[in-house]
């Protein structure tokens, strides 16, 4: 198992912030319990992750592999910060991008069965240094399966950055190389994390309410 970078740990008893302290789309107000991680904090943490990735992988051309759909917002913001570092420091990383789409959730449960339902030919990753960009690691089964799949194509190096890692008894023990936040075992949405495709248009990371789960249940 790779040694992971330090992360912001959100405790089990963290209550979050009242919704009326932030700008929340009106169509979601009754579907959320609390704001858990405000957008500004996400951005600051992402900027630091970009610096850590540059320090760790700065000698190599990187293929940044975005795990769609949930990872697209984190992916875009992370790459913006890496590009800023490339422009403003002596060390820079040549970077290309690729995309893969996976499916492992039904409602609020991770099935652990990975379905590759989009993305380009993974054989293009052979011999490359790959940075997988993910939104959340839940049980870890999906990422372990993806890493096993990628290994068949013989990349030179693979590192994983995830915005969130969930603290759950269902975890298989996998931990990414770079982590933004470690969060309790709650179902969170927003900042492109979804519940059956809803809430991707929410800037903050929030805890979904039982009302929201019932309203948007598949």
Following DSSP, what letter does each residue of 143-207 receive, concatenated?
HHHHHHHHHTT--SEEEEEEEEEE--TT--S---SEEEEEE-S--EEBTTB-BTTBSTT-SSEEE
Give all strands (DSSP E) within the chain, no chain letters: 8-9, 32-37, 62-68, 95-106, 109-119, 129-137, 157-166, 178-183, 188-189, 205-208
Q: Are 41 and 183 in contact (CB under 8 A)?
A: no
Q: What CA–CA distance (Å, rounded) separates 21 from 197?
A: 25
Q: Are 45 and 169 in contact (CB under 8 A)?
A: no
Give the CA distances from residue 141 to residues 27, 53, 105, 173, 180, in Å, rounded to whole numbers and listed in that order: 33, 23, 12, 9, 19
Q: Are 174 and 143 in contact (CB under 8 A)?
A: yes
Q: What CA–CA distance (Å, rounded) separates 21 from 151?
A: 46
Catalytic pick among 31, 77, 135, 138: 138
Is position 138 annotated as part of the catalytic site?
yes
Catalytic site positions:
138
């Amino acid at each position: 198992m790779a040694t992971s970078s330090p992360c912001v740990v959100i405790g089990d008893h963290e209550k979050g912030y009242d919704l009326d302290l932030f700008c929340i789309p009106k169509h979601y107000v009754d579907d959320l319990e609390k704001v858990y991680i405000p957008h500004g904090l996400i951005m600051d943490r992402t900027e630091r992750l970009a610096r850590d990735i540059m320090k760790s992988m700065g000698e190599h051309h990187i293929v940044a592999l975005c795990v769609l759909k949930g990872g697209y917002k984190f992916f875009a913001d992370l790459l913006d910060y890496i590009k800023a570092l490339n422009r403003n420091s002596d060390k820079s990383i040549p970077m290309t991008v690729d995309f893969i789409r996976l499916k492992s959730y039904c409602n609020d449960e991770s099935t652990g069965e990975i379905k590759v339902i989009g993305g380009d030919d993974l054989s293009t990753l052979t011999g490359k240094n790959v940075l997988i960009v993910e939104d959340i690691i839940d049980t870890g089964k999906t990422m372990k399966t993806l890493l096993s799949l990628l290994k068949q194509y013989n990349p030179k190096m693979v590192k994983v950055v995830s915005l969130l890692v969930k603290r759950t008894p269902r975890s298989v023990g996998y931990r990414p190389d770079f982590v933004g936040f470690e969060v309790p075992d709650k179902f969170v949405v927003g900042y492109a994390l979804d519940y059956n495709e809803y809430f991707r248009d929410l800037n903050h990371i929030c805890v979904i309410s039982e009302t929201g789960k019932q309203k948007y249940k598949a």
